[in-house]
Amino acid sequence: MLVPVDTSQTRVKIDMAVLLVLYEAIHLNRNFITVLTHTKSLSNPVTPTTPNPAIDRSLPLPSSPTTPAGKQPTGLPQPTNLLGTFFTFSSIILQNIKDDSSVTHARLCLVIITCIVEDQFANSFLHDPNMTFPVTLHRASLLHRKPTKDGLSHVRPLACSLLDLMVEFMISHMAKNFKLDLYRKCLGVVHRMLCYQKRCKIRLNYNWKELWVGESHRVLTSLPLCVN
């Protein structure tokens, strides 16, 4: 069997109630977007008073499977953002779709992301070239691509990380019997981002080839289903 065996899969305990609360907060309260865009700057770290701090922020971040853009030295502390953390969490959810409950979790994550990209303020924050963050996205182990050897997180606008998340979802779920509504939500996110970029005349520095290749592969995979 030419099937890769991944013995180090990331296991995350998902609380459906928390996802529902997050969806309700974003969907019903437009001001909640400002909470997600809050940035914690670590440019001037404070020396901990305890002898053994719980988190050593001087350590490098995990590897990020994103297209090369900019890098920051591993020894310097980097700012964090709640949206970037949610994209990392969503990448784990979207790569662990095994049963009906996981499909529900993935669908809810895509709905939350859709609510985010429909907000004007959130879109402006995602595409702001001055607001760059390192975002770790988990990628599936596939036979038709080489593993990522770069162990550094790339610092780019969050719009690039979100596009990477959608592209990764498309190219890693090519099964003909997969839930098509998830693909529609994924394409809806990409469509809303492209509409915003066209409307505001934003030229995003992104490797668009991956997006078009992913969409073309998805169309070719779904073509037999449309014919039937």
Question: How many other C-beta atoms are found inside a 10 Å radius of the C-beta of residue 51?
Answer: 5
What pLDDT does residue 49 have?
44
What pLDDT does residue 43 have?
52
What pLDDT does residue 132 have?
87
What pLDDT does residue 155 have?
83
Could you tell me the residue ranges of all domains in the chain? 16-38+60-227
In 3D space, the residue among 151, 33, 158, 143 whose CA is nearest the CA of residue 90 turns out to be 158
What pLDDT does residue 219 have?
66
What pLDDT does residue 12 have?
58
Q: How far apart are CA 96 and CA 198, in angstroms?
A: 33
Q: How far apart are CA 85 and CA 68, in angstroms?
A: 20
What pLDDT does residue 145 have?
59
Parts of the chain with a pLDDT under 50: 1-9, 45-74, 149-152, 225-227
Q: How far apart are CA 225 and CA 169, in angstroms?
A: 19
Q: What average pLDDT is seen over the chain?
A: 74
